[in-house]
């Protein structure tokens, strides 16, 4: 088999592994909280937000800015953890290669 043929077979195998890993990541969740747990954000491993829970005690109409900051903090923490998970999992499939558009 030619070198190009081997390379194409390897690329197809890696593509299947990447697709399987992406599906696995989408099924995993990461949870982050802020404000001592009054705001909880759950993110899927593919980087999409699954849910946001806010303790009613945190909903002070006189201080909406604080609640917005708590939500933002929890969301950014969860998304950051999801990105780290993606990089670790996808990097294992790609053999440490930094492939554009994958991570």
C-alpha pair distances (Å), 77 with each of 51, 82, 85, 96: 14, 9, 12, 24
Contact between 52 and 41 under an 8 Å Cβ cutoff? The reply is: yes
Q: Torsion angle, CA of 11/26/85/17, rounded to 10 degrees?
A: -20
Domains of the chain: 3-93 (3.30.1310.10)
Contact between 15 and 90 under an 8 Å Cβ cutoff? The reply is: no
> What is the residue-level pLDDT of the chain in tens, covering all 103 positions?
588 888 888 888 888 988 888 888 888 999 999 999 999 999 998 888 999 999 998 888 898 999 999 999 999 999 999 999 888 887 777 665 555 554 4
- pLDDT tens digits for range 53-63: 999 988 888 98
């Amino acid at each position: 088999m030619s070198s190009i043929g081997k390379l194409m077979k390897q690329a197809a195998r890696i593509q299947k592994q990447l697709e399987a890993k992406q599906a696995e990541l989408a099924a995993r969740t990461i949870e982050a909280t802020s404000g001592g747990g009054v705001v909880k954000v759950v993110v899927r491993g593919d980087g999409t937000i699954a849910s946001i829970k806010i303790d009613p005690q945190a909903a002070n109409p006189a201080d909406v800015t604080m609640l917005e900051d708590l939500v933002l903090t929890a969301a950014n923490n969860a998304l950051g953890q999801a990105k780290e998970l993606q990089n670790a999992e996808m990097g294992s499939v790609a053999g440490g290669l930094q492939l554009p558009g994958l991570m």
